[in-house]
Amino acid sequence: MRRRTVTPGAGLEETLDNLAAATATRQEAPAAAAPAHAPRRERDTLQTEFAFELPRGYVDDEGRVHRNGTMRLATARDELKPQIDLRVKENPAYLSVVLLAQVITQLGPVTDVHTGIVERMYATDVAFLQDFYRRINSEGHTHAAVTCPLCHGSFEVDLSGGRLGES
């Protein structure tokens, strides 16, 4: 692994962009060498966007209610970026607003979801989105193997709950 030094003139954004570009270039080369006729296996694919429906809905400036949207998986950059945000430093509770604004890709016809939109959402919807974020980004880690005390049958349970209010 090669070390990277960040100089005072270079910002975090620029360094992360350069690193991402270099990684993408390295990953494209082996992919190009693979035969074009090779079938793609289902386990080789990764779902990165997930649809959701808000319990109440976001009301825009024109009074339209938007309930359906999509959220993408968070990257390490998404989780690190809010840590340097001054609003988060002043009020740590603002972290979830900044984080949700980064990972929500669409809300109804709105594709430019920013912190102002998340700030104007109802608390119920923000709580739902926080739970949804946690579930999609920890997929596979919230399942536990359990045994029924009556029939001694084994099965798996999702500890995060499937619907709002479950746990």
What pLDDT score does 138 carry?
87
Write the pLDDT tens digit of every residue in 80-114. Answer: 999 999 999 999 999 999 999 999 999 999 999 99
How far apart, in whole angstroms, are the C-alpha atoms of residue 125 and residue 96?
A: 12
pLDDT of residue 20: 60
Q: State how beta strands 104-107 and 65-72 pair.
A: antiparallel
Please write the tens of the pLDDT for every residue from 129-165: 999 999 999 865 556 677 888 898 887 766 555 444 4
Per the structure block, which two tokens stand in for 58? 């976001």
Tell me how far apart the alpha carbons of residues 140 and 47 are, in angstroms, rounded to a whole number: 13
Residues shown for the chain? 167
Q: How large a percentage of the chain has pLDDT more than 70?
A: 64
Per DSSP, which regions of 20-121 are E strands?
A: 49-59, 65-72, 104-107
